[in-house]
Amino acid sequence: MSDKSELLLKPKRFYKAAAAAQVDGGFAVQLDGRTPKSPAKKPLVAPTQALGEMIAAEWDAQVEYIDSSLMPATRLAFTAIDRIADTRAEVAREITAYAASDHLCYRAESPRGLVERQEREWGAVLDWIKAEHGLLFTPVSGIIHTPQPPETLASVEALALTLDDFALAGVAFAAGLFGSTALALAVRAERLTGQGALDLSRLDEIYQAEQWGEDAEAKARAEALGVEAEMIARWFAALR
């Protein structure tokens, strides 16, 4: 599809200013005083002023056309508004599934430099989550799936269900982004930055790039993921 055809599929910017305004139930994004609707026709209202302003800034940053691919916080807010309330148990199970095969639990068998870095850097996150939440994860060498303790997974699911809709949406998004519930919870707690968590999730790739160099495609992909990682860290901060 040509760039021109792609533009024709995107709506033109039809408003002059975007801002967040207090309403019943939170802070609504307003475009020239009118609140946009989610795909399910619900108003775009965030629970905190900081998050409302963060989402409004995405709308304000649009130029001639509205490009939703450049609006990750808006997309996540629509998920929180349209999906989470009716599927909280399902989303909690998704988060638990990431914990059941948490990326930080699958360690390389070689080379020694990578093994030691994983033990040190991934181990620090697992030590923190055990101290902070009482969650015990069992690391293994290799890629063969090894079940995590049932009590750990039950605790993860219970913890997820204590979160409000926007926090739950954020943890589910982060767990998928990092392939790790442990990293998602660490970012939510400001134990790690979004970029720091992404780097840990890509530790194998980063190590290999240090040894052999990084190709352009991998670099571009990492940069795109970095935008989402930075967004989710700001999302959690805005919810506090």
pLDDT for the residue 5: 45
163 and 230 part of one domain: yes
125 and 180 part of one domain: yes
Q: Are 126 and 152 in contact (CB under 8 A)?
A: no
95 and 57 part of one domain: no
For residue 20, pLDDT over 80 is answered with: yes
For residue 8, pLDDT over 60 is answered with: no
Rounded mean pLDDT, 124-152: 95
Treating both helix axes as pointing N-terminal to C-terminal, what angle do 165-178 and 88-100 enclose, rounded to 10 degrees? 30
pLDDT for the residue 100: 97
Query: 72 preceded by cis ω (within 30°)?
Result: no
194 and 134 part of one domain: yes
Identify the domain boundary among 35, 67, 99. 67
- CATH code of the domain covering residue 35: 3.30.2180.10
Q: Taking all residues of the chain, what is their mean pLDDT, rounded to a whole number?
A: 95
Rounded mean pLDDT, 110-132: 97
For residue 108, pLDDT over 80 is answered with: yes
The per-residue DSSP string of 133-183 comes to H------EESSS--PPPHHHHHHHHHHHHTS-HHHHHHHHHHHHHHT-HHH
111 and 156 part of one domain: yes
The DSSP output letter for 121 is I
97 and 216 part of one domain: yes
Q: Is residue 231 part of a domain?
A: yes
For residue 77, pLDDT over 70 is answered with: yes
Distance CA 34, CA 99 (A): 40
* E-only strand ranges, the chain: 18-23, 26-31, 45-46, 106-107, 140-141
Q: Is residue 72 part of a domain?
A: no
Q: Is residue 73 part of a domain?
A: no
How deeply is 229 buried, as exposed, middle or buried, from its count of CB atoms within 10 A (0-12, 13-18, 19+)?
A: buried
Q: Are 18 and 60 in contact (CB under 8 A)?
A: yes
12 and 102 part of one domain: no
Rounded mean pLDDT, 13-27: 97
Q: Is residue 152 part of a domain?
A: yes
Identify the domain boundary among 39, 67, 95. 67
Percent of the chain at pLDDT > 90 equals 90
Q: Is residue 99 part of a domain?
A: yes
Number of independent structural domains in the chain:
2
What's the domain range around 170? Answer: 85-239
Identify the domain boundary among 19, 38, 67. 67
Which long-range contacts (C-beta less than 8 Å, at least 24 apart) are formed by 66-74? 66/10, 66/11, 66/12, 66/13, 67/10, 68/10, 72/227, 72/228, 72/231, 73/231, 73/234, 73/235, 74/29, 74/44
pLDDT for the residue 2: 47
Distance CA 184, CA 177 (A): 9
Rounded mean pLDDT, 131-142: 96
Q: Is residue 212 part of a domain?
A: yes
Distance CA 107, CA 113 (A): 12
Percent of the chain at pLDDT > 70 equals 97
pLDDT for the residue 142: 87
190-218 residue pLDDT tens = 999 999 999 999 999 999 999 988 888 98
109 and 189 part of one domain: yes
212 and 123 part of one domain: yes
- CATH code of the domain covering residue 204: 1.10.3580.10
pLDDT level of residue 13 (50, 70, 90 thresholds): very high
Q: Is residue 195 part of a domain?
A: yes
91 and 62 part of one domain: no
Q: Is residue 31 part of a domain?
A: yes
Q: Which of 8-12, 21-25, 26-30, 49-53 has the lowest mean pLDDT?
A: 8-12
